[in-house]
Structure 1
Amino acid sequence: MTSDSAGPSRQSYDIVIVGGAIMGASTAWFLTDNPDFDGSILVVERDPTYSACSTAHTNSCIRQQYSTELNVRVSQFAADFIKNIRSYMGGDERVPHLAIRSFGYMYLADTPGFADTLRANHRVQQAAGAATQLMSAEQIKAAYPFYNVDDILLGSINVVDEGYWDGATVFDWWRRQSRERGVEYLHGEVVALNRNAAGTRVESVTLASGQVIACGQVVNASGPRAARTAAMAGIKVPVEPRKRYSWVFKAETPLDRDLPLTIDPSGAHVREHGGGTYLAGGHSAIDPGVEPDDFTMDHDLWESHVWPAIATRIPAFEAVKVTSQWVGHYAMNTFDHNAIVGPHPEVTNFHFINGFSGHGLQQSPAMGRGLAEWLTYGDYRSLDLRPFAFDRIAAGNPIPEVAVI
């Protein structure tokens, strides 16, 4: 794959995308795939290795079990894109066929309140065409005998287009095809967004090198750094990095069937990883915003919280050995845990694709497609993403997503 260039080839671009990870890559690719868009695109990425971005630290899963219909439909498009990626990418025979390993998500409720939440979510999901099923403790035990369900009142699972997928391959091919179609990826950092005298538009971006690049539209695809990028344009956006911890472990006694991505009432989660290994995740009870370059591991969290919780839920995991661990970041929208997509109402050519609160990889196909439509037409042509507009934040009208892991 062609490496990122050291300098832009021109002094002005129709679209400048700040951030080249999954959302920036998706937006760029969908712009190139739209026959009605014929503009120039520059993607500026501060770390072309992508070693410290959220995309690199994702657990690469997809689900339809959300509490809002729009989020369900966003994931339904992602599932279709994943399973038909070669067709979406013009029948390019270099593009591999992909599938979703649909072991499902299993939400477990141990209180009447959370059981009611699962029932309410189930109604939303079914209305949107998802295959979610509610299960009693007895039904869960019959289907998955390895669970301890003594305290469980209700479960919710969907094993259709819900589980693991190869997000890294989609990311790679978005970038590869975009470059082949003329998108420039620049190894650099945007350090200033320069507005016009009225403050209504971003006229140019300044790079750390000192070069100033004029732009027609600018896209904030900065992941956990979204607030820093927005601040350059004088905009406040409620997005901050939150640490999320992951461990891969090998079980002395592997389970006899696939393990759904199990969301324990304790907050810990664990899923199938393959070959007798499993992937667990969680976060500290105190969950503050952190610096975007803070990847310090909490070595006590596994022993004190995550392992005890999953070993209680799945007694076969009382004897395990951790083989790898890492820290990633959610780009958490602290306002309502939902995406912020589309233009700013006052700085009208500044566009958001931010705040995915841990759902970014699985939402990237629909979000990149939608923003590409808006940048081309000034409207959405497929899935209407206007409920995710920045206006709701300015108006103080949240649309909460309660199904956040």
Structure 2
Amino acid sequence: MLANAENVDLLRENYLLQIDLGAKVELLTKDDLSARWPWMNVDDIEMGCYGYENEGWFDPFLLLKALKIKCHFMGVNYVVGEVTDFHASPFIMVSSSGGESQRPPVLCKPLRSATISLPNQMNISISFNSVVNAAGPWAAHVAELAEIGSENLPLRLPVEPRYRQIFVVRPKNTLSHIESHYPLPGLDMPFMIDHNRLFIERRDLSGEFIVYSDNPKFDSLNNNCNKQNSVNHEFFHEYIQPLLCKRIPGFKDAEVTSGWISICDYNTWDQNLIIGSHPLHTNMYFCNGSSGHGTQHAIAIGKSISELIAFQQYKTFDLVRFSFDRLFSNQTVNEVNCF
């Protein structure tokens, strides 16, 4: 994580918090950064924070595949289809959220079934006692099917799709020493987050690098790219490559070899998870709005929501402050420098 003069104090504060929580990190001055990674241009950098232990990556698709196989083994029945409607009980009941929060009991008509449209155009109905909204970027639409965000329940689920263009680049290594006295990054290159929200990651031993930005100023351009269903090379050359070359001058001749569009369930309220039951539809549980961290948090989210359904309270992690209730009380759970 790199910081310029404007946000170096914030980097120090975050470093102290990480140290207090047991993270293996160290602060590096401009000279330290230049000495350790001579391929990096640090002209506008004041300080960096480097995690030297317990860092790594995993393949999200393989994790998802492994979880689905395990669920099949444990008896889960997957139905391929699209939820098109929810149906509530005709009877008014008194419902309580148990130990999830300090909510009073409410009178409600709990949701009891969902209409599912199958690929063969047939519709089926699935009955349930509890339903979990884990629809990712389309969670708000699923909630609207249960009238969450309607005239009766006007406070909508503030989750929407956000698109990111991910580029894979390879430097041609054609620059002369006159054009650039900077070497190319080696195998010791860490995952880098620039102060302008540029992400750079070495792709194993392939000689390629993954580059992208989640800067909000690019949101409209990224959303337009989704309509084309492919990355926009002009966007890379106009916006991303100048940032990349400024930080790693040896990438001046880098070319895009591939890319893809990533989509996340972005919480427009405070960019943090919304988990737990709805205050009135108390048997609809949310697992939404991780804002790009869903894969990392998925297993912990699944465990926590299972505990909430089974015991009406969290057992392992206390996630009450991340409930839907914070929208009603106009509260946010904000983090700084969380990407």
TM-score by length of 1: 0.69
User: 2: CA distance between counterparts of 1:340 and 1:169?
Assistant: 25
Q: Distance in 1 between matches of 2:171 and 2:126?
A: 53
Equivalent residue pairs, number = 298
Residues 255, 276 of structure 1: 8 Å contact kept: no
Mind listing any 5+ residue stretches in structure 2 that lack a counterpart? 93-107, 149-155, 174-183
1:185 counterpart = 2:78: yes
Report the RMSD for the aligned CA atoms in angstroms: 2.0
In the alignment, does 2:226 pair up with 1:301?
no
Find the aligned partners of 2:337 and 2:299 in 1 and give their Cα distance. 20
What is aligned with 1:169? 62
Matched, 1:201 2:110: yes
TM-fit CA distance, 1:111 = 2.8
> In structure 1, what residue type is equivalent to 2:45?
I
Counterpart in the other structure of 1:277:
208
| Cα distance in 2 for residues equivalent to 1:184 and 1:117 | 48
The yes-or-no answer on 1:131 pairing with 2:24 is yes
Q: Deviations over 1:8-40 (max 9, x none)?
A: xxxxxxxxxxxxxxxxxxxxxxxxxxxxxxxxx
Higher relative contact order (CA 8 A, sep 6+): 1
**Distance in 1 of aligned mates of 2:336 and 2:55:** 18
Q: Which amino acid aligns with 2:307?
A: E
Structure 1 residues 20-35: aligned runs within 5 Å = none
**Residues 230-260 of structure 1, C-alpha deviation per residue, up to 9 Å, x if partnerless?**
1111221111111111011112345223322
Contact kept in structure 2, 1:147 and 1:314, CA below 8 Å:
yes
Instruction: State whether residues 166 and 231 of structure 2, in contact with CA within 8 Å, keep that contact through their aligned partners in structure 1.
Output: no
Q: 1:219 aligns with which of 107, 132, 145?
A: 132
- Aligned to 1:156, the other structure's residue is in SS state strand
Return the letter of the residue paired with 1:241. Answer: P
* 1:250-289 alignment, distance < 5 Å: 250-253=170-173, 254-274=184-204, 275-283=206-214, 285-288=217-220
In structure 2, C-alpha distance between the alignment counterparts of 1:161 and 1:371, rounded to whole Å: 27
Give the residue type in structure 2 aligned to 1:328. Answer: S
Q: So what's the TM-score if we normalise by structure 2?
A: 0.82
Counterparts of 1:293 and 1:217, CA distance in 2 = 34
Find the residue that maps to 2:314 and give its secondary structure. coil
Identity %: 32
- Of 289, 298, 301, which aligns to 1:355? 289
What letter is aligned with 1:279? I
Structure 1: how far apart are the matches of 2:224 and 2:324? Answer: 23
User: Are positions 1:154 and 2:70 aligned together?
Assistant: no
- 1-structure distance, mates of 2:193, 2:162: 19
Residues in 2 aligned to 1:151 and 1:331: alpha-carbon distance in whole angstroms: 33
Residue in structure 2 matched with residue 381 of structure 1 by the alignment:
315
Pick the aligned partner of 2:166 from 228, 246, 249.
246
CA distance in 2, matches of 1:229, 1:281: 30
13, 19, 28: which one pairs with 1:120? 13
Offset, 1:132 = 2.4
d(CA) in 1 for partners of 2:82 and 2:161? Answer: 19
The offset of 1:357, in angstroms, is 0.7
1:67 alignment partner in structure 2: none
1:330 aligns with 2:264: yes
Residue 278 of structure 1 and its aligned partner are, at CA, apart by 0.5
Q: 1:355 to 1:167 in 2, by over 3 A?
A: same
CA gap 1:300/1:402 in 2 versus in 1, 3 angstroms: farther
After TM superposition, where is structure 1 displaced by more than 6 Å over at least 4 residues in a row?
none
- State the shift of 1:296 in Å: 5.2
Write the deviation string for residues 136-188 of structure 1: whole angstroms up to 9, x where unpaired.
11111122111100110111121322232233222111110110110011111
Structure 1 residues 292 and 127: alpha-carbon distance in aligned structure 2, compared to 1, 3 A threshold? farther
Structure 1: segments with no counterpart, 5+ residues: 1-106
Distance apart, 1:286 and its partner CA: 4.2
Which residue of the partner structure matches residue 56 of structure 1?
none
Could you tell me how far 1:126 is from its partner in structure 2? 2.0
